[in-house]
């Protein structure tokens, strides 16, 4: 899509609509609401990072090298089977995941304060309109051509929607799916929820989709097949000159982040073997400074998807 020496390759741009922006290759936005919860960095196995509620009833797994990037679930207690599951694929913006994780934190805090099991175990509500209300309020429309037994609400640009499947039985079957983008492994974002997922948690995720505000991405992170469907505005041109001239001096953390970013960018333009080594070195420095840990993957680095991904471990 971009030549390795293209000066605009790593240019930051504001991308809208958000649901077509794809993933930036990190889980930072999705993990931000649960930054204060226990983290387990896993050296082996497909799950690279596991974040749980303090009592381990809520589990948020980050599978940085897999097709299903996020797996989130809730249980009656730490030892019970999940009551419901939500999965987000590798194209889904982490900002959408944050809609769910933020709602889970709110539910958990309310449960502690009231000494109740928590709304995150409450199950779905009836009617289904409660689930899609954030979308219909934003002007999304009912698709009259949906299959019998299903309900689908479509965005005004026809590039995103929510599908509710009311056919069949079983607590583990997927009954709600949020999607965005054309069909394809690298173009379609998918978020799936099983039958007993509380409606307000799906609605919280959908509410983020309904927002029109843009998100920041680097140009090379926007798949070439998506470019004609989104609006990209360079961040620099969106910042008033006067504001840029009086911007604050960089903090030590800013300096460290800039150094790591530059190292990663240099590595991406080098031969593949050298790039891998340089990226690993940059990640190690970043992890040691930000996490004060050694030998564990940082959320924004080791889980980054390659610019040209091979055949996924689990595809569709």
At 257 the three-state DSSP class reads: helix
Stretch 291-309: mean pLDDT: 38
What one-character DSSP code corresponds to residue 261?
H
Asked if residue 1 has pLDDT above 60, the reply is no
Stretch 185-210: mean pLDDT: 96
Stretch 257-269: mean pLDDT: 43
* pLDDT band of 238, cuts 50, 70, 90: low
Q: How far apart are CA 32 and CA 105, in angstroms?
A: 11
Q: Looking up tokens 């004060």, which residue turns up?
A: 292
Q: Of 91, 111, 77, nearest to 25 (Cα)?
A: 91
The pLDDT score that the predictor gives to residue 170 is 86
Tokens at 173, concatenated: 């079957």
Asked if residue 182 has pLDDT above 70, the reply is yes
Q: Of 290, 213, 311, 316, nearest to 26 (Cα)?
A: 290
What does the pLDDT look like over 128-172, one tens digit per residue?
Answer: 888 999 999 999 999 988 899 999 999 999 999 999 998 878 889
Sequence-distant (6+) residues with CB within 8 A of 80 are none
What does the pLDDT look like over 66-81, one tens digit per residue?
Answer: 899 999 999 999 999 9
The pLDDT score that the predictor gives to residue 298 is 39
* pLDDT band of 221, cuts 50, 70, 90: very high
* pLDDT band of 91, cuts 50, 70, 90: very high
Q: How far apart are CA 131 and CA 193, in angstroms?
A: 12
Asked if residue 291 has pLDDT above 50, the reply is no
Strand partners, 189: 180
């Amino acid at each position: 899509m971009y030549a390795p020496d293209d000066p605009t390759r790593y240019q930051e741009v504001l991308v809208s609509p958000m649901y077509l922006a794809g993933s930036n290759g990190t889980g930072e936005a999705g993990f931000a609401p649960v930054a204060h919860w226990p983290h387990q960095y896993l050296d082996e196995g497909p799950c690279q990072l596991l974040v749980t509620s303090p009592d381990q009833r809520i589990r948020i797994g980050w599978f940085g090298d897999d097709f299903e990037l996020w797996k989130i679930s809730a249980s009656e207690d730490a030892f019970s089977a999940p009551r419901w599951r939500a999965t987000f694929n590798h194209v889904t913006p982490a900002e959408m995941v944050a809609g769910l994780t933020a709602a889970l934190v709110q539910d958990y805090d309310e449960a502690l304060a009231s000494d109740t099991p928590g709304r995150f175990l409450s199950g779905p509500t009836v009617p289904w309109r409660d689930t899609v209300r954030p979308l219909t309020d934003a002007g999304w429309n009912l698709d009259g051509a949906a299959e019998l037994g299903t309900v689908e609400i479509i965005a005004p640009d026809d590039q995103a929607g929510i599908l509710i499947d009311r056919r069949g039985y079983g607590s583990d079957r997927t009954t709600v799916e949020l999607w965005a983008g054309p069909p394809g492994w690298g173009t379609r974002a998918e978020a799936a929820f099983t039958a007993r997922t509380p409606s307000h948690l799906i609605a919280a995720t959908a509410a983020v989709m309904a927002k029109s505000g843009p998100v920041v991405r680097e140009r090379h992170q926007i798949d070439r097949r998506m470019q004609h469907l989104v609006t990209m505005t360079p961040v620099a041109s969106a910042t008033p000159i006067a504001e840029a001239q009086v911007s604050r001096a960089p903090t030590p953390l800013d300096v460290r982040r800039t150094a790591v970013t530059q190292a990663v960018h240099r590595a991406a333009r080098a031969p593949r073997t050298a790039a891998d080594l340089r990226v690993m070195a940059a990640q190690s420095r970043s992890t040691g400074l930000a996490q004060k840990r050694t030998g564990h993957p940082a959320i924004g680095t080791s889980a980054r998807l390659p610019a040209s991904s091979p055949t996924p471990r689990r595809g569709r």
